[in-house]
Amino acid sequence: MARLDGKVALITGATGGIGRAASRLFADEGARLTLVDLDESALREVAQSIGEDRASYVSADVTSAEQTQAYVQAAVDRWGGVDVLLANAGIEGSISPIPDYPLDVFDRVMAVNVRGVWLGIKYVVPVMRERGGGSIVITSSTAGIGAGPDMSAYTTSKHAVIGLMRTAAMEGAASGIRVNTVNPAPIETRMMRSIEEMRVAALDDSDITVEQTYRATSARIPLGRYGNPEEVARMMLFLGSDDSSFCTGGVYMVDGGRSAGGR
Q: How far is residue 88 CA from its own chain's centroid?
A: 2
How does DSSP classify residue 246?
Answer: T
Annotated catalytic, 226?
Answer: no
Active-site residue, from 57, 71, 123, 154 = 154
Burial zone of 133 (CB within 10 Å; 0-12 exposed, 13-18 middle, 19+ buried): middle
Instruction: List, in order, residues 6 or more apart from 37 with CB less than 8 Å away.
Output: 12, 13, 14, 15, 16, 19, 43, 57, 59, 60, 89
Is-contact 139 181, C-beta < 8 A?
yes
Amino acid type, 43: L
Q: Give the DSSP per-residue string, 8-66.
A: EEEEESTTSHHHHHHHHHHHHTT-EEEEEES-HHHHHHHHHHH-TTTEEEEE--TT-HH
Question: Which residues form the catalytic set?
Answer: 154
